[in-house]
Structure 1
Amino acid sequence: MKKLLLTLLTLPTLWLSATAQTLPTADEVINKYIAAIGGKDALMKVKDLTSVGTMVYNNSSIQITLKRKAPAKSLTLLTGDNGQLFYKNVIDGTNVVDITQQGTTRQNEQAARLSLMYNRLFPELVFNEQGIKSTVVGKEQIDGQDAYKVTNTFADGTPLWTSYYDVITGLKVQHVIKWDQNRTATLKSSNYKEVNGVKIPHNSTYQENDGVVSMSKVNSVQINTGVSDTEFAVQ
């Protein structure tokens, strides 16, 4: 009887230990993702990337142009069929501005820090360099598939975003980012296609809070075309 009681008492501990051992480390998850999209060597060769696609929002079609240049420059442009500007975001590597029909707004230090990481070519490549701390907190199902949930914070503990990586493929399928106190966005990525040895997601959905879900499709991707620094000039 005594042996039976001891066995029963140790079962919860053994179960918890076994459960914990089934989860990989954050480094293992992130390294698998980097390998899945082409590997570190291939990603490091990407100096700039330009993609053009369309987004459907509230039954309206919007053209999206994204330009990224290492190490931390970016341009995001949303325009209508007639070239009408809806939104423009420019990052010169240090400063971040948002441009709409209402005018130009320079992001504050906290918002800019988040934007600078979010709009890099491959943020996970510089997590260690930037002091980002990542933790695997469990598994969740994303669109019916198991994914590792990884929380990421800046070195000072400020939240960066939460990423979800497919357990089987290693690909990043979702991340959730809190832009500010009132805006939390969920971005889902799918349909990865290889371009110059690097896998780029060609379909995505974006939703802020419980608002309208926008669906985007990439029509073309160009890598290392020599994008000029003038594209990222912040006025």
Structure 2
Amino acid sequence: MKKLFIPILMVASLIGSTISVKAQTADEIVDKYIAAIGGKDNWKKVQSMKVEGAIQVQGIEIPYSVNAIHMKGSRMQGEFQGNVFIEITTPTKGWSQNPMAGKATLQPMTDDELKTKIDDLDIQSPFIDYKEKGSTIESLGKDEEDGNEYFKIKLTTKNKNESTYFFDTKTFLVYKQETIIKQQGQEIKMAVKSLDYQTVDGGIKVPFKVDQGQMILATKKVSVNPTIDEKLFTNN
């Protein structure tokens, strides 16, 4: 009986600890992630940001910049062979310009396009105060990729946008984000990898390389809390 009793106790203990861990895993991982990127206090001080870099695609580099004010507006702009590419997002409207896709001037975004962009106005982090923002998180266990192990957490925002984040089990930094977006009536799965994290002004850590598969956004400079003219977020 004793031999049987000990394994049963071990199994019961293991099940109990597993249930306990699952109940708190998502929030624990998120807390460690926030600490890894500089901490909540530092990020809450970030009200504006300017990013300068280059889009690398098919051996070509296209200079670009992003000017953003937290929860107010964002403008991404690049230029290639005299063609100017622009994407503007605000809480209520958005516009895009892409001469190579037949948009020679700023054109309004569709509701679906705006819905996929609007959560990006949160330049601090979607995980900071996520409950207050109306978002929810759910642990999806672990996964392995490229020889590394990752925690998987699904984030659902109040706008009903869903993304699955892969957190490195050693550093707790986000390695990859998978999102399903709607384009021209079709659902498309996007995977974005965040690499080369560096600490910038204000003690916050951001990825300087964002791999979107067909193109890479290589950051060269990040300015924290610069003065940004809100006129950049209009279609004038």
Tell me the TM-score normalized by structure 2: 0.83
What is aligned with 1:188?
193
Structure-2 separation of matches of 1:178 and 1:75: 22
Which SS does the other structure have where 1:35 is aligned?
Answer: helix
Name the CA shift for 1:133/1:62 in 2 (closer, same or farther; >3 Å): same
Conserved 8 A contact 2:71-2:121: no
Shift of 1:201: 0.7
Stretches of structure 2 that go unaligned for 5 or more consecutive residues are none
State percent identity of aligned pairs: 22
Specify the code of the residue in structure 2 equivalent to 1:88: I
Correspondence 1:210-221 to 2 at 5 A: 213-221=214-222
Name the CA shift for 1:141/1:107 in 2 (closer, same or farther; >3 Å): same
Stretches of structure 1 that go unaligned for 5 or more consecutive residues are 208-212
Correspondence 1:160-179 to 2 at 5 A: 160-179=162-181
Q: Give the number of aligned pairs.
A: 226
**Equivalent of 2:205 in 187, 199, 207:** 199
Structure-1 separation of matches of 2:75 and 2:225: 15
Specify the code of the residue in structure 1 equivalent to 2:171: T
Conserved 8 A contact 1:74-1:120: no
Conserved 8 A contact 1:151-1:161: yes
Specify the code of the residue in structure 2 equivalent to 1:182: E
What is aligned with 1:67?
67
Correspondence 1:44-193 to 2 at 5 A: 44-80=44-80, 82-85=81-84, 87-101=85-99, 102-103=102-103, 104-122=106-124, 123-155=126-158, 158-180=160-182, 181-193=186-198
Specify the code of the residue in structure 1 equivalent to 2:232: E
Q: Can you list the C-alpha shifts for 1:143-168, whole angstroms capped at 9, x where unaligned?
A: 33221111122347x34211111122
Q: Aligned Cα RMSD in Å? A: 2.7
Shift of 1:54: 1.3
Name segments (4+ residues, structure 1) moved above 4 Å.
Answer: 13-24
Structure-2 separation of matches of 1:129 and 1:148: 23
What is aligned with 1:36?
36
Structure-2 separation of matches of 1:78 and 1:143: 32
Specify the code of the residue in structure 2 equivalent to 1:51: V
Name the CA shift for 1:18/1:194 in 2 (closer, same or farther; >3 Å): same
Shift of 1:203: 1.2
Name the CA shift for 1:190/1:15 in 2 (closer, same or farther; >3 Å): same
Shift of 1:72: 3.6
Name the CA shift for 1:83/1:53 in 2 (closer, same or farther; >3 Å): farther
Shift of 1:125: 2.4
Conserved 8 A contact 1:139-1:147: yes
Indicate the larger mover: 46-55 or 105-114: 105-114
What is aligned with 2:226?
225
Shift of 1:76: 1.4
Which SS does the other structure have where 1:117 is aligned?
Answer: helix
